[in-house]
Each structure stands twice: as C-alpha cells, then as structure tokens.
Amino acid sequence: MGSLKEVRNRITSVGSTQQITKAMKMVSASKLRRAQDHIVQMRPFANKLKEILENLSSSIGSAEGGAYAKVRPANKILLVAFTSNRGLCGAFNSNVIRSIVRLMHGKYEEQNKAGNVKIYCVGKKASDYFSKTSAYIGNSNDLINTSDFDALAALAENIMKEFTKGEYDRVEIVYNQFKNAAVQNVTTEQFLPIQPAVVEVKAKMVQEYIFEPSQSEIVLELIPKSLKIQLYKALLDSIASEHGARMTSMSKATDNAQELLKQLKLSYNKARQASITAEILEIVGGANALGA
C-alpha cells in the first residue's frame, strides 16, 4: 500500500482522466447522432442503386460502361482501407488493418509476393501503419473530417479510370459497417469489377427493365454514379462506426475509472486509518512511559 500522498495523487489523476473520458463520450454521442442519420438515410438509396446495377451487369457487356464489369485474371489488386484519423476507439482501426493484412497474406498472397497488391488509405491510422510498406500508394485522410461527396467522387473516378486502363484487375474496399452504437462489422466488398446479382432458384428473379433512352446511355450514366455512391456509403458507414466505437470505448473507460476510484478511496481510507492508529499508539506509549 502506498503512502497517503501517493494515493491522493492517484485519485486526482484518475479523476481527471475520468472527466476527459466522460467528455469524449458525450462528444462522440453527439457526433454519432448526426452520422447515424446520414448513413440511415443513404443506405436504402445506395442498396437499391446497387441492386439495379447488379441486375444490369449481366447485359452490359457490349454496352458503354461494360469496362467496369469486365472480369480479368486477378493479377493486380487495389485494397482501399477506411479507418479513422484518431484513436481511442477500441479495436475499430486494428480490425480493418488486420483484415487488410489477412487479404495480403491469404487471399492475395501470390500477388503480394509479386508486388502487385497496392493499398490506398482513407484515414490516418491506416496510412500510418501501411506507409511503412511498399504496397502503400497514398491516402485521402481529409475525407474522414469533411465527408465531402465531391472529393470522394474524384477518388472514385481515379480508381475507375485506373481499373479501365488495366492498372488494377480487382478493387476491394475494407471498412466497418455500422449496425448500432455497440456493434460495427468489418466488411470487405468488391468494388470493381461489378459483380452480377446472385440469383436463387425459385426464390429470386433478375428484374427486366425497359430502357428509355437507350440502354447504353443509361448504363453510361448509372454505373459511375452507383460506384461513387457505394464508395460514399462505405465512408459514411466508417464515420458512424468510428463515433459508435469511440462512445462505447469511452463509456467503458469512464466506468473503469469509477471502479478504480472506489478502490483507491478505500485504500486511502485504510492507509489514513492505519496512520491515525499508529499516532494514537505512539501517544499512548509515550504517556505510559511518563507515568512510569
């Protein structure tokens, strides 16, 4: 058991930390509310657009935009990682980083050994980690703070252009999909080439569409827009997940600090009681000695 001064200092330190974690929890809760509204409003539109795109993908081979659905041998891979710019959010960032590493050393091990796996980061935590590797090619960390659709659309256009030029044969995105404040699921999605809809026998049928104007004009407009929306949805999912993870993490930290304060105060009272008892015994001992 430490001295009274040491315990008092620890109580003060833990109390200050608790105030910080409580404030961060409240800030994250406020930001989460706005971020959750954004992703909840975006998700139905993005999912429906993706469904239409997948249903069209089987018939766009000869149409304009068919280059985005062209399947080539997966020799050159681009992985896009979505993380946060700040920490203190539990395993939010490390889960994405681990998923990227598993892809590099598992699914794309041969391509990685040949130096054909590249990583683009949206979020400072991922770029800090992967910037030390030869696979790292750049980042757009500002998107986490601004969630600017135009800036993200420019990034999507660059990725799409490099894919059509053959710089990459497959593009996958890894991000935390927001479920609720306590649950964020690490998700890996194929961004390019566009995957056709999965048809279950007697359960689902690929819808047929009447095109007006022509199919090629609609596809030319729809595919780039849909791909941008899918990437933007991943960004909004990641932002909402970050605030949820940080709020949960700071809530647990605040509870742990409260529990630690109870233990420290108990230790302080025991040490103070022992000190007082020792002083009384010294006084009594001295009085007895004088009386003798």
Handedness of CA 56, 58, 59, 64 (dihedral sign): positive
Range with the poorest average pLDDT among 36-45, 46-55, 148-157, 193-202: 193-202
pLDDT at 2 over 70: no
User: What's the pLDDT tens digit per position in 258-271?
Assistant: 999 999 999 888 88
pLDDT at 208 over 80: no
Q: Give domain status of residue 9, yes or no.
A: no
Give the tokens for residue 247. Answer: 């709020």
pLDDT at 230: 92
The pTM of the full predicted model, rounded to 2 decimals, is 0.84
- Distance between CA 84 and CA 94 in Å, rounded? 10
Q: Across residues 85-89, what is the average pLDDT?
A: 92
Cα separation values, 236 from 84, 98, 144, 178, Å = 12, 21, 9, 9
**Identity at 198, one-letter amino acid code:** V
Enumerate the β-bridge partners of residue 121: 81, 139
Percent of the chain with pLDDT over 70: 88
Q: Give domain status of residue 152, yes or no.
A: yes
> How many residues does this entry show for the chain?
292
Cα end-to-end span (Å), the chain: 36
Q: Across residues 52-68, what is the average pLDDT?
A: 62
Secondary structure letter of residue 84 according to DSSP? -
CATH of the domain at 206: 3.40.1380.10
Domains identified in the chain, total number: 1
* Mean pLDDT computed over every residue of the chain: 86
Q: Give domain status of residue 272, yes or no.
A: no
User: What's the pLDDT tens digit per position in 212-230?
Assistant: 776 667 777 788 888 999 9
pLDDT at 207 over 70: no
pLDDT at 200: 46
117-122, strands of its sheet edge to edge: 136-139, 117-122, 77-82, 170-178, 184-192
Query: Which of the pair, 33 or 209, is modelled with greater confidence?
Result: 33
pLDDT at 59 over 70: no
Q: Give domain status of residue 155, yes or no.
A: yes
Active site residue 89: yes
**Other residues' Cβ atoms within 10 Å of the Cβ of residue 151:** 14
Percent of the chain with pLDDT over 90: 59
pLDDT at 209 over 70: no
Enumerate the β-bridge partners of residue 175: 187
Closest CA to 9 of 281, 271, 277: 271
Q: Across residues 137-142, what is the average pLDDT?
A: 94
Q: Give domain status of residue 84, yes or no.
A: yes
pLDDT at 286: 75
Q: Across residues 231-240, what is the average pLDDT?
A: 95
pLDDT at 202: 40
pLDDT at 147 over 60: yes
Confidence band of 7 (pLDDT split at 50, 70, 90): confident
Confidence band of 282 (pLDDT split at 50, 70, 90): confident
pLDDT at 279: 80
Say which of 7, 53, 60, 89 is annotated catalytic.
89
- Distance between CA 232 and CA 70 in Å, rounded? 22
pLDDT at 60: 55
Q: Give domain status of residue 21, yes or no.
A: no
Phi, psi of 120 (to 5 degrees): -115, 135
Q: Give domain status of residue 32, yes or no.
A: no
Question: How large is the angle between the packed helices 215-291 and 4-57, nearest 10 degrees?
Answer: 170
Is residue 93 within 8 A of residue 123, CB to CB? The reply is yes
Query: 111 is in which domain, residue-wise?
Result: 44-249
Query: Which of the pair, 274 or 180, is modelled with greater confidence?
Result: 180
Q: Give domain status of residue 162, yes or no.
A: yes
Q: Across residues 120-131, what is the average pLDDT?
A: 96
Is residue 173 within 8 A of residue 189, CB to CB? The reply is yes
